Amino acid sequence: MRLPASIISSCLAAALLLKGLPALGASGLSKETEEALKAIEKSPQPSAEPPNPSEKAQKPTIPVWIRAAGRAVPGASELKKDEKQIPLTPAHPEVVRRYDVQYGKKHDYEGLSLQEILLTYNPPEGIDTVLLHFENGMVVPVSAPLGVPVVDAFVATAIKDAKGPEFPDVIHKDLFDEDLDPIKFSGTKLVVSDRKHPAQPGTEVEFSPWLYVNSLTGI
């Protein structure tokens, strides 16, 4: 880092006085020293270093893996096999306009469909269920015969027609019409158009898991 000329001037003046040398001129320095300081001040500044490409923001991905057979143990990590990071931003990401049950209206979203993500992963034969893991700890199972999910879900990485680039919070009311803690999103949002989960019987449902999930973190 370059020190200001005034600081260098003061230091040189102090050094000259300590040696018993006369301090000349208004700055307290000799003419030769003043000229040297002016040359330093006019010297070109070093150019800024170019940005490191590795420091650029990484493109979002979603981990997909095969869960080992057996009963899940609360608090224990799942045994993951054949885990892959599936890119969510291909060269030509899909932009769709969809009704979102959490927002209660249509929006333009950029991302990939859940089916496209599974096709990219290419699961082995025998896979009939996918477990959708969310940042808030929710895990929602979805039937997927032959690796094709029965839910028409879209994994969005951006909302294109909102006021800002971030997904707006979702706020629900409790039984007393008070606001519950907002549901926040970071990086992704699962967009589902049908409030009813396929496993729920009947046509009308009071509770829908799709209303309370936040960002998808793994499949």
* Residue boundaries of the structural domains of the chain: 5-42, 57-218
What is the model's pLDDT at position 152? 92
What is the model's pLDDT at position 199? 84
What confidence tier does 203 reach under pLDDT thresholds 50, 70, 90?
A: confident
What confidence tier does 145 reach under pLDDT thresholds 50, 70, 90?
A: confident
Answer yes or no: is pLDDT of 65 > 80: yes
93-136 pLDDT tens trace? 778 999 999 999 999 999 999 999 999 999 988 888 999 999 99
Lowest mean pLDDT among 46-55, 114-123, 144-153: 46-55
State the SS3 of the chain: CCCCHHHHHHHHHHHHHHCCCCCCCCCCCCHHHHHHHHHHHHCCCCCCCCCCHHHCCCCCEEEEEEECCCCCCCCCCCCEEEEEEEECCCCCCEEEEEEECCCCEEEEEEEEEHHHHHHHHCCCCCCCEEEEEECCCCEEEEECHHHCCCCCEEEEEEECCCCCCCCCCECCECCCCCECCCECCCCCEEEECCCCCCCCCCCCCCCCHHHCCCCEEEC
Question: Mean of the pLDDT values across residues 77-81?
Answer: 75
176-200 pLDDT tens trace? 666 678 899 998 999 999 988 888 8
What is the model's pLDDT at position 153? 95
What confidence tier does 35 reach under pLDDT thresholds 50, 70, 90?
A: confident
